[in-house]
């Protein structure tokens, strides 16, 4: 759907009457993202913002208490863009990122979440930041649990704040164990491919992890699988926390941090995202969407005629269910799926 290797990497529909997507392509030397916002009911509904950063996630929230909700985009280097209709405000999380001038060496940041008038950002190797107000980014955790091996990298893919004041962080560990000195020399020379090859020579496979975080204390929760953890959802009523994971695996975290498998269809597709929809809870796999409860995952629901290719996220907003696919944008409204076309003219790179 998109030209020149661009793909959807993030999306959100939390601002009423609109939807926002970020398109990017893998290029560590020259990062670039195109952020598109579509406003329903306009003759030309699309607007565009270009940034020379790799956007990794989008949420929606308020720049300050009492302000109107806006889309908020996060780059892997810790740039936070508040996409107001009148202007784009940007902030930088101190110390976050890999190549930023102020990078503290802890790695990239990967997700941003809005809750109330605050925001939480999580990132590699135990980074957690909280924004209680404009421009005020505070490090809640700068170093996570000790790694199994010295050069292991903890990648954070999901966060969930709990009513008891603790939080859950899920993700996966990318095994290190390579030639660190040679890798760092390659990085200084700008040779990203050699850096990756040298840094990650370990023969161990990546494996999923889930932590309960209380202040500076990270407690690893025993999981019955090595599948990558992708999303977390608390349906309430004491049902436990639902966990979407890879390799056709979904879990439920119960009291006492006991973890059980959810029953569901046979398959190897990764589960990637939950959404509380009008008809009940849903969970998305890479190419299908399923009804879900704290007991089981149901058979896949009918999808669009084009089919899904690689779902990144699903989200209920207004009267619609949105499916953000890497190559397409879909909306389910009044029982019918529609593919949201992005005009070619808006995609031309200036």
In tens, the pLDDT along 238-279 reads 889 999 999 999 999 999 999 999 999 988 899 999 999 878
Residue 68 inside a domain? The answer is: yes
Q: Is the dihedral of CA 144, 146, 151, 157 positive or negative?
A: negative
Beta bridge partners of 69: 62
The DSSP call for residue 235 is -
* Alpha-carbon distances of 198 from 76, 90, 189, 204, 324, rounded to whole Å: 22, 35, 14, 15, 34
For 211-231, the pLDDT digits (tens) are 999 988 999 999 999 999 999
SS3 83: strand
Per the structure block, which two tokens stand in for 215?
């202040």
Q: Which of the two residues, 26 and 33, has the higher pLDDT score? A: 33
Give, in order, the Cα–Cα distances in Å from 237 to each of 198, 258, 291: 48, 17, 18
Q: Kindly state whether residue 11 falls inside one of the protein's structural domains.
A: no
Q: Look up residue 244 and give its two tokens.
A: 């979407």
Q: Is residue 9 part of a domain?
A: no
Q: Is residue 24 part of a domain?
A: no
Task: Kindly state whether residue 23 falls inside one of the protein's structural domains.
Answer: no
The total domain count for the chain is 1
- What φ, ψ does residue 86 adopt, rounded to 5°? -85, -35
Top pLDDT among 113 and 105 is at 113
18 found inside a domain: no
Per-chain mean pLDDT for the chain: 91
Q: Cα separation of 161 and 55, whole Å?
A: 23
Q: Is residue 28 situated within a structural domain?
A: no
Contact 160, 138 (CB under 8 A): no
Cα–Cα distance between 242 and 44 in angstroms, integer?
40
What is the radius of gyration, based on Cα positions, of the chain?
20
SS3 37: strand
At 232 the three-state DSSP class reads strand
Query: Cα separation of 318 and 78, whole Å?
Result: 30
**350 falls in which pLDDT band (50, 70, 90)?**
low
Owning domain of residue 167: 55-347
In this prediction, residue 205 carries a pLDDT of 80
* All residues at 6 or more sequence positions from 303 whose CB lies less than 8 Å from its CB, including other chains: 287, 288, 289, 337
User: Is residue 342 over pLDDT 70?
Assistant: yes
DSSP type of residue 319: T
348: confidence class by pLDDT, cuts 50, 70, 90: confident
The CATH number for 247's domain is 2.130.10.10
257 is written with which tokens?
């941090």
For residues 89-100, give the mean pLDDT: 95
Residues 46-59, mean pLDDT to the nearest whole number: 96
User: Is 69 part of a structural domain of the chain?
Assistant: yes
pLDDT grade, residue 157 (50/70/90)? very high
Residue pair 272/311 in contact (Cβ under 8 Å)? The answer is yes
Q: Among 304, 303, 321, 305, which residue's Cα sits nearest to residue 313?
A: 321
């Amino acid at each position: 759907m998109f030209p020149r290797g661009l793909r959807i990497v993030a999306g959100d529909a939390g601002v009423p009457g609109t939807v926002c997507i970020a398109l990017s392509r893998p290029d560590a030397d020259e990062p670039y993202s195109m952020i598109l916002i579509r406003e329903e009911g306009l003759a030309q509904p699309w607007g565009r913002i270009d940034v020379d950063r790799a956007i990794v996630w989008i949420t929606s929230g308020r720049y300050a208490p009492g302000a109107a909700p806006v889309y908020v985009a996060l780059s892997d280097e810790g740039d936070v863009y508040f996409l107001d209709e009148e202007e784009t405000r940007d902030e930088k999380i101190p110390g976050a990122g890999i190549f930023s001038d102020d990078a503290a060496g802890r790695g990239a940041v990967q997700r941003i979440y809005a809750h109330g008038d605050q925001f939480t950002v999580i990132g590699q190797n135990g980074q957690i930041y909280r924004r209680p107000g404009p421009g005020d980014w505070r490090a809640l955790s700068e170093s996570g649990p000790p790694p199994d091996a010295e050069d292991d990298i903890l990648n954070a893919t999901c966060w969930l704040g709990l009513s008891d004041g603790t939080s859950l962080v899920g993700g996966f560990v990318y095994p290190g164990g390579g030639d660190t000195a040679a890798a760092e020399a390659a990085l200084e020379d700008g040779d990203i491919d050699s850096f990756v090859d040298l840094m990650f020579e370990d023969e161990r496979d990546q494996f999923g992890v889930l932590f309960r975080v209380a202040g500076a204390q990270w407690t690893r929760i025993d999981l019955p699988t090595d599948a990558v953890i992708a999303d977390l959802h608390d349906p309430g009523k004491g049902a436990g926390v639902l966990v979407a994971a890879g390799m056709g695996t979904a879990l439920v975290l119960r009291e006492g941090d006991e973890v059980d498998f959810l029953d569901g269809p046979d398959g190897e597709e990764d589960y990637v995202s939950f959404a509380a929809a009008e008809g009940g809870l849903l969970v998305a796999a890479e190419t299908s969407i399923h009804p879900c409860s704290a007991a089981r995952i149901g058979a896949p629901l009918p999808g669009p005629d084009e089919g899904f290719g690689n779902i990144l996220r699903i989200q209920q907003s207004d009267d619609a269910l949105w499916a953000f696919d890497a190559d397409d944008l879909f909306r389910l409204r009044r029982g019918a799926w529609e593919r949201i076309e992005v005009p070619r003219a808006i995609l031309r790179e200036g």
